[in-house]
Amino acid sequence: MSLPETVIPCAQIVEKGDADRFRTVMAAPVAARAKLFPLYAMNIEASRAPWVTKEALIAEMRLQWWRDVLEEIATANDVRKHEVSTPLAMVLTPTQAQRLDEYIAARRWDIYRDAFEDQAHFDAYIDQTAGHLMWTACEMLGADAQAESSVRDLAFVAGTAAFLRAVPTLAEEGRIPLLDGTDAGVTALAQRALDRLTRPKVAKAAQPALWPAIGAGKTLAQVIRDPGAVAEARLDQGLTPFRLARTALTGRLAL
């Protein structure tokens, strides 16, 4: 069994734009790949929209284009033809499309140079981006609704770890990524996330959707031991080929 032709461009986008997620999908069964590649390709296209231009209005228009796509999927209207939107429409339910609209809206923070308003704003950003993405992936692969809370906890861990890895790049772009950039503040942020570390109980078929979180716990533990590693871009790689292989073989997340 091979990937549908319509999904191949999505796989190529993920391969170029998110090597870690590409590895997790390629380690999953082909049936899962056909669903995950369009979702993850959308994630790449939307997440980089604020960064391909310095014009805020153009960035807003790029994100609005994706919101329009998701509205078309949610309302069962004809979906505009595009190498990602076309296969995405084939795997998303209307409810999932509505959820991902909130994901796109949260990405507006990436356009501007404003700091997060408070801890609740940061938490909402991580949940609406990393949380919505991971839960949608799990749900697409058959996860039961009872697992949503634990999946979102794990996504918060992974999302915070990924955000901390991005801090040096965000700072170089003139952004204010952290509410408290002191060692104490960075340590506290990592600890808050690490306190939510969990291994969600989902059906075997849905487990590949959790694999992007591999190694996130070790990254956060490193931050707690050595908060200076954040600004100096010395953080643990997180998802390594060894950790992915061990997870795929044993069925236990290497966190």
The pLDDT tens digits for 18-66 are 999 999 999 999 999 999 999 999 999 999 998 888 899 999 999 999 9
The predicted structure's pLDDT at residue 202 = 96
pLDDT average, residue stretch 75-94: 93
The predicted structure's pLDDT at residue 91 = 96
The predicted structure's pLDDT at residue 21 = 97
The secondary structure of 116-131 as a DSSP string is PSSHHHHHHHHIIIII
- 233 Ramachandran zone, left/alpha/beta (phi>0; psi -120 to 50): left
For residues 213 and 155, is the Cβ–Cβ distance under 8 A?
A: yes
The residue that leads in pLDDT, 3 or 97, is 97
Assigned token pair, 205: 């078929």
The secondary structure of 191-226 as a DSSP string is HHHHTT-------GGGGGGGGGGTTHHHHHHHHHH-
Instruction: Return mean pLDDT, the chain.
Output: 95
**pLDDT-based confidence at 77, cuts 50/70/90?**
confident
Distance of alpha carbon 117 from alpha carbon 109, whole angstroms? 11
pLDDT average, residue stretch 96-117: 95
Asked whether residue 1 carries a pLDDT value surpassing 80, the answer given is no
Assigned token pair, 170: 């965000």
**pLDDT-based confidence at 221, cuts 50/70/90?**
very high
How far does CA 183 lie from the centroid of its chain?
A: 26
**pLDDT-based confidence at 8, cuts 50/70/90?**
very high
Distance of alpha carbon 118 from alpha carbon 141, whole angstroms? 34
The secondary structure of 126-173 as a DSSP string is HIIIIIHHHHHHHHHTT--GGGHHHHHHHHHHHHHHHHHHHHHHHHHT
First-to-last alpha carbon distance for the chain, in angstroms, is: 31
Give the tens place of pLDDT for each residue, 113-164.
899 999 999 999 999 999 999 999 999 999 999 999 999 999 999 999 999 9
Distance of alpha carbon 17 from alpha carbon 47, whole angstroms? 10
pLDDT average, residue stretch 207-223: 98
Q: How large a percentage of the chain has pLDDT more than 90?
A: 93
For residues 156 and 145, is the Cβ–Cβ distance under 8 A?
A: no
